[in-house]
Structure 1
Amino acid sequence: MKKERHEHLLNEYSKIIGIYVKLDDLCQSIKEQVDLVNKQIQAFSFFDQHEKSTKELSKESAALLWFQLFNYVVARLPQNQQAKQQMVQICKDYYRGNESEIKLIEEFEKTYRSEYPLLWYSKQAFIYRLINKALRTEDVDLLYIFRFFICDLSKAFATRT
């Protein structure tokens, strides 16, 4: 892509914050936006900052906004064979030497269909553990790698509610 061809969109649409042609630049911008949202949440406290309930509310609000932003971004990322292969390779590297997990990863690689993410997630195997670890630590890089599966999982949860 040529960045210059799309820069006019910055003036036409107020929600566009930048045009990125490099993944690192996009990731950096997302991190900056998340930091900005976290700072704004801290400013929204209407109560005494020393009250425990207010602090807990701020943390919960920040977590909710972070999750909503993450879900919005993941739904718009490419979900293709290359994304699947990247995710599978990271899983294989992480579980190198663990034959039972490697077999599950290879089974996933061969048989996974986007209609059944809950089946794979409920096995509480490699994909369950790695995605939960990434969500707990808010590891944006790891969450990006799991975008292929997270998008399907998010859609499955949305249709169940």
Structure 2
Amino acid sequence: MIVSGALAQHTIPIIQQCPQLVSIYILCGNQSIHEEWAKTIPKVKGIYTQIEPICKALQIDQENCDRAMISISFNRIDPLFMYTQLLKEALLQIEDDDAKSIKELVEYCRLQSDASEKTLEKIEEEYRNHSPIWWYTGPYFIYSMLNCGLRQMDVDIILKMGFFIRHLHQHITELHREQKASMPAKFQVFRGQGLSMEDFEKMKKTKGGLMSFNNFLSTSRNREISFNNFARPAAFNPNSVGILFVMNIDTAICSKSSTPFAEVTNKIGFFEDKEEEILFTTHAIFRIDRIERIHDNHSDRLYEVTLTIVGNDNHELNTLTAHLREESTWATGWARFGHILIKLGEPAKAEHL
């Protein structure tokens, strides 16, 4: 919420407890008038005399919300992990008419989402002019919609975005091959985000075990940006815990286990690469090595979680997935996708295919 200076001091104390309200920005002519009392309200993220800095802060807020929506599996036989993995494998086998798929996505969004007509027209007319990573990292609905679809196992969204999931995975795979020679054998990346209290408790119980990020995974080489822009702000949400993931990456394991990643440079992504972003494909699996409290003057709900990437073989997380995969070896492409939908209890959607 953006509040004018004239209303701020009287309005904010009344509304600041609303759970739907995450961030408050004060737009005024004199910052010093509001600085003292605003310090007592954590949801006030800043006092500004111009709108442009607020717009930049809102972009970070939006990304924080999207990051908190990413699908994570902690249970070693989590059906969400298994079925999203199998759906992705089926999608990668399908070769569709891209023009038709883009048109169907745009029509679906016109009916189902709040995407602007200008954005939809841009996607329809310019999709082939830019790379999948450019669209994914841009200020459009694609990032949010894809995360939401995979987290909620929304079959309609996964179907409509199937061509994009395929293109994005293929783009990351191509870049991984090109960049592999210049990548260090082992390195660290960081990711700041919020976790719900429920997911945080699950993670603590899984310590020493495995977890999977079921979405495309955005990480950064820059620890400071990951902490200050994403982990710390998430801790101010009363319903979440701020997490700084410290991820130990072994390039050889990623290549062997078909978990490609790519460095998102200025020429590839939408924004200037201040975050030094490394983007992984879906279903990256990690071992939870350590969970430690971060001592911080601003919040007591900040934790550093150390993860190490593992291969996708020889562990329980993939045992049942492999069994389900064998059940559909007779089918490929859309037939395989339909078989998985029936397993998910979606026979009507399978018939529609």
TM-score, structure 1 length as denominator?
0.55
Of 105, 113, 117, the residue aligned with 1:87 is 105
Please identify, of 128-137 and 105-114, the stretch whose mean Cα deviation from structure 2 is larger. Answer: 105-114
Query: After superposition, where does 1:146-157 map in structure 2 within 5 Å?
Result: 146-157=161-172
When residues 133 and 56 of structure 1 are mapped into structure 2, their CA distance, relative to the original with a 3 A threshold, is closer
State the one-letter code of the partner of 1:151: R
- Structure 1 segment 133-148 matched on structure 2, within 5 A: 133-148=148-163
Matches for 1:72-83 after TM superposition, within 5 Å: 72-80=89-97, 81-83=99-101
Distance change in 2, residues 1:110/1:102 (3 Å):
same
- Name the CA shift for 1:139/1:114 in 2 (closer, same or farther; >3 Å): farther
Aligned to 1:138, what secondary structure does the other structure show?
coil
1:53-132 paired onto structure 2 within 5 Å? 56-59=74-77, 62-80=79-97, 81-95=99-113, 101-113=116-128, 116-132=131-147
**Equivalent position amino acid for 1:152 in 2:** H
Q: Which has the higher strand share?
A: 2
Following the alignment from structure 1 to structure 2, what is the Cα–Cα distance between the partners of residues 137 and 68?
14
Q: Distance in 2 between matches of 1:107 and 1:115?
A: 11
Q: 1:62, CA displacement in angstroms?
A: 4.0
CA contact (8 A) 2:84 2:153 kept: no
Cα distance change of structure 1 residues 62 and 113 upon mapping to structure 2, 3 Å threshold: same
**Is the 8 Å Cα contact of residues 88 and 105 (structure 1) preserved in structure 2?**
yes
TM-score (norm 2): 0.27
CA 1:95–1:66 in structure 2 vs 1: closer, same or farther (change >3 Å)? closer
Change (3 A) 1:141 1:114: farther
Query: Quick one: structure 1 residues 137 and 124, their matched pair in 2 at CA, closer, same or farther if it must change by over 3 Å?
Result: farther
**Offset, 1:95:** 3.8
Unaligned runs of at least 5 residues, structure 1: 1-54
Amino acid at match of 1:85: K
Which residue in 1 is equivalent to 2:173? Answer: 158
8 Å contact 1:74–1:147 — kept in the other structure? yes
Cα distance in 2 between the residues matched to 1:123 and 1:92: 19
**Between structures 1 and 2, the one with greater helix share:** 1
CA distance in 1, matches of 2:147, 2:172: 15
- Identity score, percent: 24
What code does the residue aligned with 1:66 have?
Y
**CA 1:88–1:65: 2 relative to 1, 3 Å:** same
For residues 137 and 83 of structure 2, the distance between their equivalents in structure 1, rounded to whole angstroms, comes to: 24
Q: How many pairs are equivalent?
A: 103
Question: Aligned partners of 1:115 and 1:134: how far apart in 2?
Answer: 23
Q: Counterpart of 2:155 in structure 1: which amino acid?
A: V
Distance in 2 between the 1:83 and 1:77 partners? 12
**Which structure has the bigger radius of gyration?**
2
Question: Any conservation in 2 of the 1:115–1:152 contact (CA below 8 Å)?
Answer: no
Work out whether residues 96 and 163 of structure 2, in 8 Å CA contact, stay in contact via their aligned partners in 1. Answer: yes
